């Protein structure tokens, strides 16, 4: 439909015929207009929404917008007290009180570290009030525990033979033999035990009171976001305080006990060389409080057209929160403070479920089972909105036959990744039907990060088959450049149409799809 059409269209009669033909096509009840999707994305990913961070006032404006749209397309409210919203609490950011101090005595010489400059907390334990200490640890002996790893299947344990009970533990980041493709520690790929979560819980389980992490010798350029903590204080939650210490400031400790040399020896033979650092003492006093915030899932319902089957439902979900100004969730820590608009992640999915709802309402007879549309909050902070929904579902989880999730569907550019069919292989037939009915020209891929990386996870763990639609990672992922101008709106509408047709197929199938296995 290029220039030749324009030439023919100069004939008024033909032009009229073409106009009629096109409007008939557009009026087909299952069409989803790319422009309608793009308009929602423009609003949700505008700078005025400031990145829709959890706990921000802008997220609440976005919630009101989604509710208004659900209402306009003809859904019924499905939230708490028959309103549109399902409120729940989450932790978002920290309040930093006065009096935070960290000092290490090294053979009689005291090193004082400064919060936000030479150290920052990677972990904050629950505390309501920043004027009360969240940790007050004095005169702790200091133990060096290598890389802080225990990998039983290769017999490596940095804590073997040392006692860290009620002590401070100093470890290096990453793992030994990190770039060695032949390493017994999973070759050049990290072992799962290298995560902060694993290292923190291991230290805690061996009795440590506080874990200090310094960049390992192969990462001399310490680019951890120290200053960010001052701009946007936030931390994960682990059972003990975990502090990142700037390598250059920790140099006197490293030098006093030759820790770089020891690390190289461990790299060489993969033999742990942990030891108590005699004549070292650690004082750590912390005043941090978690910010509790109320956020809201937005829920709209299209009751099934068949009263007998309307008790069963399909959830169609997309998270509408994003990472705000970046904070610890930004992939560009140096650019935190800038608005991370989240057009693809996940204004695209949110816009899609609004337009899927519009198309479904317009063609309700195609949906004998009930559709529950949920825009989730709290996804970026650990899939919290979907976790909450599954504990207080609008329709019983036993009757929830499937979940369709759309997370980052704005950059199809010719293809979409579909995951989750492996947990319910009988849905392959429904999916094939949907591909055909949607007329999608997108290439369907099955090679994404796999099921359970987004809100679909909380359904899969409850044995509800969940399908995730995803158009792929890109260099703007969790960065300020995730803007609406880069959205492929026609591609997004194709993904939405595909999800709509899959919902129709599932709403009509005789028996519910069988859940086979957790991936
Ligand atoms: Zn997302
Ligand atoms: Zn995200």
Strands 168-172, 135-144: parallel, antiparallel or unpaired by DSSP?
A: parallel
Number of C-beta neighbours around residue 240 at 10 A: 20
Place of tokens 């350029």: 221
- Give the number of whichever ligand sits closest to the CA of residue 350: 1
Q: Which ligand is nearest to the CA of 318?
A: 1
Q: Distance between CA atoms of 134 and 130, rounded to whole angstroms?
A: 8
Q: Which residue has the tokens 């293809």?
A: 415
Higher pLDDT, 7 or 309: 309
Q: Which ligand has the shortest distance to the CA of 454?
A: 1
Beta bridge partners of 213: 171, 244
What are the C-alpha distances in Å from 501 to residues 244, 405, 510, 513? 49, 14, 16, 16
Flag the least confident range among 196-205, 305-314, 336-345, 446-455: 446-455
| Gap from CA of 321 to ligand 2 centroid (Å) | 8
* CB 380 within 8 Å of CB 321: yes
d(CA 85, CA 197) in angstroms, rounded, equals 33
How much is the pLDDT for 27? 38
Q: Give me ligand 2 centre to Cα 315, in Å.
A: 20
- pLDDT confidence of residue 18: 45
The 3-class secondary structure across 27-43, one letter per residue, is HCCCCCCHHHHHHHHHH
Task: Say what the pTM is.
Answer: 0.82
Whether the predicted pLDDT of 378 surpasses 50: yes
**Dihedrals phi, psi of 145, to nearest 5 degrees:** -120, 50
62 CA to middle of ligand 2, Å?
A: 16
User: How remote is the CA of residue 466 from the centroid of ligand 1, in Å?
Assistant: 16
Could you tell me the distance, in angstroms and rounded to a whole number, from the CA of residue 345 to the centre of ligand 2?
A: 5
Q: How much distance in Å is there from the Cα of 322 to the middle of ligand 2?
A: 6
Which tens digit of pLDDT belongs to each residue from 117-133? 999 999 988 888 999 99
Ligand number, closest to the Cα atom of 455: 1
Considering every ligand atom shown, identify the ligand nearest to the alpha carbon of residue 406 and give its number.
1
Q: Determine the distance separating the centroid of ligand 2 and the alpha carbon of 113, expressed in angstroms.
A: 33
| pLDDT for 3 beyond 60 | no
- Average pLDDT value for residue range 23-33: 58
pLDDT range class, residue 14, cuts 50, 70, 90: very low
Ligand nearest to the CA of 470: 1
Residue 284's pLDDT is what?
98
Using alpha carbons only, give the angle 321, 323, 325 rounded to the nearest 5 degrees: 130
pLDDT of residue 127: 87
C-alpha 211 – ligand 1 centre gap (Å)? 31
410 Cα: distance to centroid of ligand 2 (angstroms): 13
CA of 454 to the centre of ligand 1 (A): 7
Compute the chain's Rg from CA coordinates: 27
User: 346 CA to middle of ligand 2, Å?
Assistant: 7
Calculate how far, in angstroms, residue 234's C-alpha sits from the geometric centre of ligand 2: 16
Between 25-29, 250-254, 378-382, the lowest mean confidence (pLDDT) is in: 25-29
* Ligand 2 centroid – CA 401 distance (Å): 26
Query: How confident is the model over 238-251, as pLDDT tens digits?
Result: 889 999 999 999 99
Ligand 1 center–CA 408 separation, angstroms: 6
- Structure tokens that stand for 201 in this block: 């819980």
**What's the rounded Cα separation, in Å, for the pair 200 and 113?**
21
Q: How far is the CA of 478 from the centre of ligand 2 (A)?
A: 6
Give the integer Cα–Cα distance in Å for 133 and 94: 13
- Res. 13: pLDDT tops 70: no
């Amino acid at each position: 439909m290029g220039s030749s059409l324009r030439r023919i269209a100069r004939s008024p009669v033909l032009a009229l015929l073409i106009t009629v033909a096109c409007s008939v096509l557009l009026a087909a009840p299952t069409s989803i207009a790319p422009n309608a999707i793009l308009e929602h994305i423009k609003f949700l990913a505008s700078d005025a929404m400031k990145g829709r961070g959890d706990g921000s006032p802008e997220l609440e404006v976005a919630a009101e917008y989604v509710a208004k749209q659900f209402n306009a397309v003809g859904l019924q409210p499905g939230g708490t007290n028959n309103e549109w919203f399902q409120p729940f609490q989450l932790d978002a950011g920290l309040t930093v009180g006065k009096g935070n101090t960290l000092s290490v005595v090294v053979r009689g010489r005291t090193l004082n570290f400064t919060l936000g400059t030479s150290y920052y907390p990677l972990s904050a334990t629950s505390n309501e009030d920043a004027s009360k200490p969240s940790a007050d640890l004095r005169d702790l002996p200091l133990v060096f525990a290598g890389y802080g790893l225990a990998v039983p299947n290769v017999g490596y344990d940095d804590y073997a033979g040392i006692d860290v009970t009620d002590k401070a533990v100093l470890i290096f980041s990453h793992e030994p033999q990190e770039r060695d493709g032949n390493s017994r520690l999973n070759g050049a790929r990290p072992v799962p035990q290298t995560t902060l979560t694993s290292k923190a819980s291991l230290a805690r389980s061996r009795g440590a009171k506080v874990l200090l992490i310094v960049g390992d010798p192969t990462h001399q350029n310490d680019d951890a976001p120290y200053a960010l903590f001052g701009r946007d204080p936030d931390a994960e939650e682990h059972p003990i305080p975990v502090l990142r210490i700037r390598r250059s400031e920790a140099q006197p400790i490293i030098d006093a006990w030759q820790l770089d040399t020891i690390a190289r020896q461990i790299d060489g033979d993969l033999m742990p060389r942990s030891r108590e650092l005699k004549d070292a003492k650690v004082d750590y006093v912390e005043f941090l409080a978690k910010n509790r915030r109320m956020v809201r899932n937005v829920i709209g319902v299209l009751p099934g057209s068949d009263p007998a089957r309307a008790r069963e439902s399909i959830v169609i979900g997309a998270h509408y929160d994003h990472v705000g100004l970046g904070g610890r969730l930004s992939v560009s820590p140096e650019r935190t403070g800038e608005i991370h608009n989240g057009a693809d992640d996940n204004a695209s999915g949110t816009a899609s479920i609004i337009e899927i709802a519009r198309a479904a309402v317009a063609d309700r007879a195609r949906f004998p089972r009930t559709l529950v549309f949920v825009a989730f909050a709290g996804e970026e902070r650990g899939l919290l909105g979907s976790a909450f929904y599954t504990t207080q579902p609008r329709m019983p989880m036993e009757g929830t036959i499937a979940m369709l999730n759309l997370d980052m569907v704005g950059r199809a550019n010719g293809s979409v990744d579909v995951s989750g069919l492996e947990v319910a292989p009988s849905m392959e037939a429904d999916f094939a039907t949907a591909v055909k009915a949607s007329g999608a020209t997108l290439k369907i891929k099955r090679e994404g990060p796999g099921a359970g990386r987004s809100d679909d996870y909380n359904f899969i763990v409850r044995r509800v088959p969940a399908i995730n639609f995803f158009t792929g990672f890109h260099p703007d992922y969790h960065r300020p450049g995730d803007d609406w101008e880069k959205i492929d709106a026609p591609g997004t509408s194709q993904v939405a149409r595909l999800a709509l047709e899959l919902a129709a197929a599932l709403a009509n199938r005789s028996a519910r799809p069988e859940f086979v296995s957790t991936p």
